[in-house]
């Protein structure tokens, strides 16, 4: 148990106490296990063993799927403590579910290929569009304030398009990631004066001219939970995985499948719940909610160079984008790029920033019209990234947060 796991468990203690299997797992003796103690989950170990023996059909079409559906439709809550409304998931829903392979998004940036997660995640499209916009500007490590100003402006524009076009619908992905559209959007940015946010979306119609008028009104940001997990890993042959998963908010739904050792998520809260026929993320049968997961891999000359990702809900995108800016344009090492103070501009009236960012860049950015306010969370930090970089073909640098969320874990395993 590290401090972060302890804090998240303590934050959820009140509702975990009311769900017998969750209380038994996470609150033995009525309290979160002490920091430094060993957390054991024998139910989950047995679930993994059975899954390995029986295969994934046991989950989608077998007994485990029926147990999941039963937990949703008949929530196992201690009588008299709270009311949890039953859900509507059935075993047939799991049996008909598919996890399709989706080709990654791809853009070029500073001579590198940047690959990301395709819709209905908005990570790859939004990071990619922002990088395309920034490609039209010469950014220098000698002028970090100017680079950060353009980073914030590109984020405003990309998030405006995210809200207008990205969801589990027919996303105009090719046009959103086209160089012509990026040039059209970038011409709205002034090097000395910030755009007043929220800005309206553009019109990725394939016909691009000089600074056309924005297409309609801006959309609100919407809610997205912060409890996401990210890891990156490479093997001895240079294969790379960037992997992001989520249960939405801290503790997910709070419901542990009895005897199975895992929580169910509440990911449906990522939908937009204000009815709108023009909202690409509106709630509808058969749709998947939009996420901001942004596992990102960079290739140089066809070989992996860098991989990075983060938790943080809708701040994931800006976290990954700012790390890439720090590393590729401002000349920081990857550890420094991850550790640097952050700001997140998601097409909102004010840019939310960590206090060290405000202290270092606030006056200079305010002079350009940027409005900065303190990011308070929870948690009180923006993102919690992990990354790796190939310094040579045989030398890999593994990087995690030194302080955010009590610090992450980065290891290089040498079997020799």
Rounded Cα gap, residues 14 and 225, in angstroms:
19
Task: Say how far apart CA 105 and CA 173 lie, in whole Å.
Answer: 8
Contact 251, 15 (CB under 8 A): yes
Based on the residue annotation, tell me whether 83 is a catalytic residue of this protein: no
**8 A C-beta contact, residue 83 and residue 105:** no
Angle CA 320–174–386, to nearest 5: 15
- From the list 228, 244, 318, 348, the catalytic residue is 228
Q: Tokens standing for 187?
A: 């011409």
Q: Which residues are catalytic?
A: 228
């Amino acid at each position: 148990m590290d401090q972060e796991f302890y804090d998240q468990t303590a934050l959820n203690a009140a509702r975990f106490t009311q769900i017998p299997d969750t209380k038994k797992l996470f609150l033995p003796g009525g309290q979160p296990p002490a920091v430094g103690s060993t957390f054991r989950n024998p139910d989950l170990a047995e679930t993994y063993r059975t899954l390995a023996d029986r295969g994934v059909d046991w989950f989608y079409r077998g007994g485990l799927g029926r147990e999941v559906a039963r937990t949703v439709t008949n929530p196992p809550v201690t009588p008299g403590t709270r009311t949890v409304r039953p859900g509507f998931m059935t075993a047939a829903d799991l049996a008909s579910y598919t996890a399709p392979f989706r080709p990654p998004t791809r853009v070029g940036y500073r001579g590198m290929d940047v690959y990301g997660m395709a819709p209905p995640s908005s990570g790859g499209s939004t990071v990619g569009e922002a990088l395309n916009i920034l490609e039209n500007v010469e950014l220098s490590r000698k002028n970090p304030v100017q680079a950060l100003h353009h980073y914030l402006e590109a984020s405003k524009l990309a998030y405006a398009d995210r809200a207008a076009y990205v969801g589990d619908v027919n996303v105009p992905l090719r046009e959103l990631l086209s160089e012509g559209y990026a040039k059209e959007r970038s011409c709205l940015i002034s090097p000395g004066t910030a755009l007043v946010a929220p800005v309206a979306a553009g019109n990725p119609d394939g016909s691009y001219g000089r600074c056309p008028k924005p297409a309609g009104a801006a959309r609100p940001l919407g809610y997205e939970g912060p409890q996401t997990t990210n890891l990156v890993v490479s093997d001895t042959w240079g294969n790379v995985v960037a992997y992001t998963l989520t249960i939405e908010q801290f503790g997910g739904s709070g419901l542990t499948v009895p005897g199975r050792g895992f929580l169910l998520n509440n990911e449906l809260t990522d939908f937009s719940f204000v009815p709108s026929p023009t909202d690409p993320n509106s709630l509808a049968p058969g749709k998947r909610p939009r996420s901001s997961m942004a596992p990102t891999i960079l290739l140089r000359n066809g070989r992996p160079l860098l991989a990075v990702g983060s938790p943080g809900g809708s701040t994931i995108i800006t976290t990954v984008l700012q790390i890439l800016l720090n590393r590729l344009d401002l000349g920081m090492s990857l550890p420094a790029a991850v550790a640097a103070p952050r700001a997140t501009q998601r097409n909102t009236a004010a840019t939310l920033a960590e206090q060290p960012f405000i202290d270092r860049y606030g006056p200079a950015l305010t002079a350009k019209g940027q409005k900065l306010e303190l990011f308070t969370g929870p948690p009180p930090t923006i993102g919690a990234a992990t990354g790796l970089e190939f310094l040579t073909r045989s030398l890999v640098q593994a990087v995690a947060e030194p302080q955010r969320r009590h610090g992450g874990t980065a290891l290089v395993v040498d079997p020799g």
